Structure 1
Amino acid sequence: MTTGTGVAQAADNLPPKQPLVQDLETGYKACATGDERTYVAEPPVLGAVLHDPEEDNHPSEANMVKGEFEAWWTDAEGVEQRLTHTTFATLSGGSQRWHMREGSVPPNTVISWRVRANDGEATSPWSSEGDGTVCEFVYDDENPEKATISSPEYPENVFWVDGVGVYGHFTMDSPSDDVVSYTYGFIGGPYGTVRPERPGGPATIPFLPLDSGPESLTVRAIDRAGRSSGQSTYDFYVKSGRAPVAHWPLADAKGATSADAEAGTDAVAGSGVTFGAPAPAGTKLTATATLDGSSHGYLTPDAPAVADPRKSFAVSAWARPAETGRNMTVAGQDTGESAAFALGLDARGESPDWSFSVGGATVSGGAPESGEWAHLLGVYDAETGKAQLYVNGHETGTRAEAEPAAIAGAFQIGRVRDGNGYHDRWHGELGGVRVHDRVVVPDEVAKLAHREPSLRGHWSLETAPDGASPDESGGAPLKLGPGATIYRVPDGSCEWWLDPDCTPPPQPLVGDGHLALDGKTGHAIAEGPVVDTSDSFTISAVVQLADREPERPMTVLSLPGEHTDAFKVRYQPEQHAWQLVMPHKDERGAPETVVARFARADGRDGIGHRVAVVYDDATDQVKLYVDGQTGADATADLSNGWRASGPLQIGRARTGDGWGEYLHGDVDEVRAFAGALPDRRIP
């Protein structure tokens, strides 16, 4: 009320607000009752957020309130037991907690609780009154029993069981009826948690072995209170992946009219098939078949290769298209008057893609190029229901949900069935067609697609008789130009390890000698491009700069075309880094891809740096390595390398109409490979 002088008088104190059920917690879990009640592994912390009205006679931030908790249960004799707890007063809106002590409540008994707020003068209604409800929990003091594990595909401790790429199904169960989940882990993964359909029930997980050898599954059962059982271990032994059910190398003799099958049934060849074509370099294939793209360019065993397209399978082949402007089929299988699946080239988009179609789903990706080999592999995984596509050993595109047909018709190479006839005929070379009746796992895909790099030159630069340092692989020597010499430790040098007054001479970078370049005209060349820079290649060298603070860029390796270099590796002093520069065309001023790797110039104080350039045409990626290391700044996408025409250059690069960027320093152990070396094999 208000006095005649206008001074406000204290209003009557209002009772605290009734605690809301949504503001209550049992063991930091939401308040629940009945079948949803909380199970805890130890006497819990009960929590509540309590409020005093803002209309009380002092500012709301000064309102103090405490909680009055009450818990009760019925004991074994049927007698109700109660516990109470009152907290210290804290600010309105704060959390009040009751830390229940060990032994305060019995285990395996339904405990009910509620709370009300007290501001020192009045109390709120109980949280259970009106629209509220009690909270319930059960204190579980027993761990669940260990889980049992079984698998029909991979029985325990049996030597050896099929195999890599074949799913196993592992069922875990526990005698305890309150288990709500199982945590599991295989050696190296996967790891996870699975829940049974009902508490205490079994749960089954699939597992796809990726490697052969001993394998182990560990499982723990988890009950409603979060208690864990002891660990169960299940050991099993995985065989290597099954061989293909069908395999046609297509390396038959010229004039053959059918393709011999290393597995499955021989494939009859149409008159548009010619055997004896070249095989992709670096593979185990010795020859391939050319299909002319006509209605006679096909091969078929006239029988299914995939017995049931609804089960897991994989189809793969080496393919070199003669054109990319139309749809073409590498391999597939009939189902009635259509195709159960097809692997091939899709030219319907803005640019051509490799594709794998199965059960109405298509996965596409990669970049087919005329006259260029690619390894293709399509997988249908019946466990996941998805189709996958690998190009040159790398998964591409987005996995797609597929619904395969049930009918298994004849397998086809070079054509696909559509309606009453065959279409999308292959024009180009094919080889190494395989069909597996299982999932082919990534490591296996990489092996099938592997092309072993071949050494095209190794110049150790120990000697240079008649001004040419020999290639240890028997190829063209490195011819030394003016300003280039082979350095070796001078004869008659003092034995510094015996004579303390002796100044030791500089040692060669590697072995007994290295190439020394004067930075003015010094260079060396190997006749011929040595490698095809439009295809995958690797070139490396050991290099040491003569100056600690170079004043200009200096090139150690380059391969020229008519107007510029297909690539060059140079030291750029402004960035204190080695750079790889790759122009996109053989034109002056063409756009360039440039990657770099930091390295200080050592001024002939140290052992030099190992630099390498790797172009992988399969992944359209280029990398620069310095001392065996690369990185994001030293890696770039490069979709179309072009073929250099000039000789390999050591110590200089194309500049304008002539040569420049001469290296002042030393070079050793130059190696050139056709093919992209993997990281672990970079010299």
Structure 2
Amino acid sequence: MVVAACAAALLAGLTGTAHAVDNLPPDQPLVEDLQSGGKPCATGDDTVYVPTPPRLSAVLYDPEEDNQPSESSPLSGEFEAWWTDADGTVQRRDYSTITLSSGSRQYWTMPSDLPADTVISWHVRANDGHATSPWSDDGNGSVCSFVYDDTNPEQPTISSPEYPTPDEVFWVDGVGVYGHFTVDSPSDDVVSYTYGFLGGPYGTVTAERPGAAVTIPYLPLTSGPKNLTVRAIDRSGRSSSQAQYDFNVKSGRAPVARWKLDDPAGSRSAAAETGTPARAGIGATFGGPAPTGTASTTTVALDGSGHGFLTPDTSATDIRDTFAVSAWVRPAETGRTMTVASQDAVGQPGFTLGLHAQESGALWSFAIGGARLSGGAPETGEWAHLLGLYDAETGKAHLYVNGHEVGDAVAATPAEAAGAFQIGRARGTTGYRDRWHGDVSDVQVHDRVVVPTEVSEHAWRKPTLLGHWSLSSATDGASPEQSGGTPLHLAGGASVYRASDDSCIPDIDPDCTYVPPPLVGDGHLALDGESGYASAEGPVVDTGDSFTIGVVVRLADSAPAHPMTVLSQAGEHTDAFKVRYDPPTNSWQLVMPERDEAGAPERVVSQITGADGGEGPGQRLVVVYDDGTDTIKLFLDGYTNADATASLPDGWHSSGALQIGRGTVGDGWGEYLHGDVDEVQAYAGALRDEDVLGLGGETNPCLC
């Protein structure tokens, strides 16, 4: 027993000795694993600058041969830093970290008495309790250096040749005109500037070298008082105090050339609101119908022949600089390439705006400087607003169709095109080509950026109110339209409820039945869910063109068991559209058939969950079809979302009457609504999203 014990003890001793002999020193710390205040290790010209005494760090490793399964390979770090003080004496500081496992990052927060503006160097090594690694700067390693900067940079200065301060020029052109702001600082260690314009944009711009000035471009999108605030950032990350530069921006300046093309029938030239009058070829006929909802009164029709054109016989603008060209157009055909506007260069046009035909179908197009943007879907006999823009500041071209940008901007390099501006044709090598066949109205040329809000305004067609039914009264079964138009006829279990009809108060009379208050105003239409509905004498909206229709509705039950239609308008065989409640999804749906045929499949094109039933205040539902953008949207209480927006490239014209409270089901009527309806409002044209917010009240929204 004694011999065995001794043997065991001897074996244990030998094992321990062998482990100690086999221990390898830790790995030399790698330069890429070292940081000075969170910044990579560097020295010389790349020495790190820090705004406070930094926390140094290093990742330390033990060799893989030492990583026994039962061991954690504990390591500590030994940091050393040194510098030369003002007297030429070398100062040193050192620090040993706590013990952590191999692969951990070890830290040393430097003392607060470090000298400022002095190069401080440091290195580190690992210690496993038995041996130490080489220093991090041994061999192929490198020392790390930093400078503690305790001084903020001075406040920057700001100037702009295009947008001087109000002390110099109070109001300056203007929206769509770039300004360039030069920012500088007296401090020679500034490397970047953070900036922000009132209302945006915001950002950071880096100087080419420490202390160099920078230029910040700015495109005003709105008029009014503006300001630019800037802070200088030095190489340590310290910030200056904020500098502010105030300036005032005018509204966007008028076009440099404009032909409204509303000249009297028989005219042989087009008057210019700005610029030079345009002579007309004999294939140009004035006095045609203008796009509804615009400021245009009449238009010109071009017959697509060699005589169908207008030209001022001079250029409208230098297309190498920023410019925009726009027009209202209505093609009479879409099977060939046609030009709305261009400007002559030698043997070719400098740019073209118009319709580009291809095998897959026609697209609207803007071509300039080797670039072509295409998009949208031209339709014969349908008005569209086109705007092509070349932005010389960015070197990119843009195309807008009906107020919306088509695709992404593309780089372009326009050449000189000092020839005549053309309406309805484009220059070719042997003459003019791609002649426009159709109507044109209000051609404008700007020598600046036409900003997106202006594009939308130019392309907006003001909707026309078709009917507003308050549903607060009924005489002989008909509820009047506010302006004396066609009334809505009540039928079956439909009646108008008015608050004044109540003769009891539930809180006082226990036998009085509670009735929810009117939805809007003094009354609303109450429908029994079995046979009640209201209808117009015919179609109210043209479903083949842009339209808007809205209603306020309150379901009678908190959880209805079957689908119920609030609004519908029939075609010959089925509904062109209907807005209904769908129980399984508890949502409002916009439903449309694929075609006007008996039994045609229905498609839910838009849907918004969150239908409200019971005694609530009701919900506002609005359908907006924009034929110009081929989209249809369903709004709930003034808002829409992606699920409630759908593509509708080909709306068809319905001939049936508008229905309130029922829809077509098979060969007859069904989906009767059990609930209350109020404030039916209908428009020819698509209301903008912001206008929809005002729909559903006793008054019509201001379409300003």
| 2:32 is the alignment partner of 1:22 | yes
Structure 1 contact 73–82 (Cα < 8 Å) conserved:
yes
CA contact (8 A) 2:67 2:73 kept: no
* Structure 1 residue 106 corresponds to structure 2 residue 115: yes
Paired position in structure 2 for 1:334: 344
1:387 aligns to 2:390 (yes or no): no
Matched, 1:468 2:478: yes
1:659 is aligned, of 658, 669, 673, to 669
1:512-561 deviation line (CA, Å, top 9, x unaligned): 43333343333322123122111111112223334444343222211111
Tell me how far apart the structure 2 counterparts of residues 475 and 198 of structure 1 sit (CA, whole Å): 72
Displacement of 1:390:
0.7
Where do residues 70-469 of structure 1 align in structure 2 (5 Å cutoff)? 70-103=80-113, 105-157=114-166, 158-306=169-317, 308-469=318-479
**What's the CA shift string for 1:194-247, capped at 9, x where partnerless?**
111111010111100001011111111111111111111111111110100011
**Structure 2 CA distance for partners of 1:64 and 1:589, relative to 1, 3 Å:** same
The whole-number CA distance in structure 2 between the counterparts of 1:466 and 1:89 is: 94
Check whether the contact 2:74–2:101 (CA below 8 A) recurs between aligned residues: yes
Match 1:674 to one of 666, 684, 693? 684
Could you tell me which amino acid in structure 1 is paired with residue 40 of structure 2? A
- Provide, for residues 457-483 of structure 1, a one-character-per-residue CA deviation record: whole Å limited to 9, x for no partner: 112223333333222223222223344
CA contact (8 A) 2:481 2:488 kept: yes
Q: Tell me, yes or no, if structure 1 residue 69 matches structure 2 residue 69.
A: no
Change (3 A) 1:515 1:82: closer
5 Å-filtered alignment, 1:517-666, equals 517-594=527-604, 595-600=606-611, 602-603=613-614, 605-666=615-676
The Cα of 1:566 is off from its aligned counterpart by: 0.6
Aligned length: 676
CA distance in 1, matches of 2:118, 2:177: 47
Aligned partner of residue 294 in structure 1, secondary structure: coil
Tell me which residue corresponds to 2:488.
Answer: 478
- The structural deviation recorded for 1:643 is 0.6
Matched residue of 1:570: which SS? strand
Query: What is the SS of the residue equivalent to 1:552?
Result: coil
Q: Output one character per residue of 1:422-448: Cα deviation in whole Å (capped at 9) or x when no partner.
A: 111111111011000000001111110
Distance 2:125 2:612 in 1: 76
Question: What is the one-letter code of the residue matched to 1:233?
Answer: Q
Deviates more, 1:235-244 or 1:24-33: 24-33
- Local SS of the residue matching 2:308: coil
Quickly say closer, same or farther: Cα 1:524–1:24, change in 2 above 3 A. closer
Distance 1:486 1:90 in 2: 81
**CA–CA distance in 1 between the matches of 2:68 and 2:295?**
89
- Per the normalisation by structure 1, the TM-score is 0.94
Letter in 2 for 1:470: P
The answer (yes or no) to whether the contact 1:525–1:647 under 8 Å persists in 2 is yes
SS of residue matched to 1:444: helix
Q: Is the 8 A contact 2:254 2:446 kept in 1?
A: yes
- Please state how far the C-alpha of 1:497 moved relative to its aligned partner: 9.5
| Aligned 8 A contact 1:354 1:365 in 2 | yes
- Residues 1:73 and 1:354: Cα distance change in structure 2 (over 3 Å): same
Q: CA deviation at 1:614?
A: 1.4
Seen in structure 2, the aligned counterparts of structure 1 residues 254 and 98 have a Cα distance that, compared at 3 Å, is same
Matches of residues 36-75 of structure 1 in structure 2 within 5 Å? 36-56=46-66, 61-75=71-85
Cα pair 2:592 2:602 within 8 Å, conserved: yes
Alpha-carbon deviation of 1:391?
Answer: 0.8
- Aligned mates of 1:510, 1:41 — CA distance in 2: 63
Aligned-pair CA distance for 1:499: 5.8
> In the superposition, relative to structure 1, how do residues 151 and 121 fare at CA in structure 2: closer, same or farther (>3 Å)?
same
| CA distance, structure 2, for counterparts of residue 283 and residue 211 of structure 1 | 23
- TM-score, normalized by length of structure 2? 0.91
Shift of residue 505, structure 1, vs aligned partner: 6.9
622-631 or 355-364: which moved more?
Answer: 622-631
1:490 positional shift: 6.7
State the Cα distance separating 1:368 from its structure 2 match: 1.0
Counterpart secondary structure, 2:476: helix
How far is the alpha carbon of 1:70 from its aligned partner? 2.0
Cα distance in structure 2, aligned partners of 1:654 and 1:630: 26
Cα deviation 1:386-413 (Å, max 9, x = unaligned): 0001111111122110001123211011
Gaps (5+ residues) in structure 2? 1-9, 696-704
TM-superposition CA deviations, 1:161-202 (whole Å, max 9, x none): 110000000111111111111111111211111111111010
Note the C-alpha offset of 1:142: 0.7
Q: Deviations over 1:617-668 (max 9, x none)?
A: 1222212223333323322221111111112122222222222223333322
> Would you say the 8 A contact 1:16–1:53 is kept in 2?
yes
- CA contact 1:60–1:92 (8 Å) conserved in 2: no
Rate the CA distance shift 1:80–1:285 in 2: closer, same or farther, 3 A. Answer: same
Distance 1:661 1:15, change over 3 A: closer
1: CA distance between counterparts of 2:600 and 2:400?
33
Name the structure 1 match of 2:701. none
Q: Does the CA contact (< 8 Å) of 1:257 and 1:270 recur in 2?
A: yes
Q: Is the 8 A contact 1:555 1:652 kept in 2?
A: yes
Q: Cα 1:640–1:71, aligned 2, differ >3 Å: closer, same or farther?
A: same
Deviation at 1:60, TM superposition (A): 8.6
Structure 1 residues 125, 667: CA separation in 2 closer, same or farther (over 3 Å shift)?
closer
Contact 1:73–1:110, Cα closer than 8 Å, also in 2? yes
**Cα RMSD, aligned residues only:** 2.3
Task: Tell me if structure 2 keeps the 8 A contact 1:12–1:57.
Answer: no
Identity percentage over the alignment?
A: 64
Deviation at 1:417, TM superposition (A): 1.0
Question: Compared with structure 1, are the counterparts of its residues 283 and 20 closer, same or farther at alpha carbon in structure 2 (3 Å cutoff)?
Answer: same
> Are the equivalent residues in 2 in contact too, given 1:533–1:641 (CA < 8 A)?
yes
Counterpart of 2:698 in structure 1 is none
Corresponding residue of 2:4 = none
Aligned partners of 1:247 and 1:264 also within 8 Å: yes
Q: How many angstroms apart in 1 are the aligned matches of 2:478 and 2:328?
A: 41
Is the alpha carbon distance of 1:166 and 1:12 closer, same or farther for their aligned partners in structure 2, counting shifts above 3 Å? same
CA displacement 1:95-125 (0-9 Å, x = unmatched)? 222211100x211111122222333333332
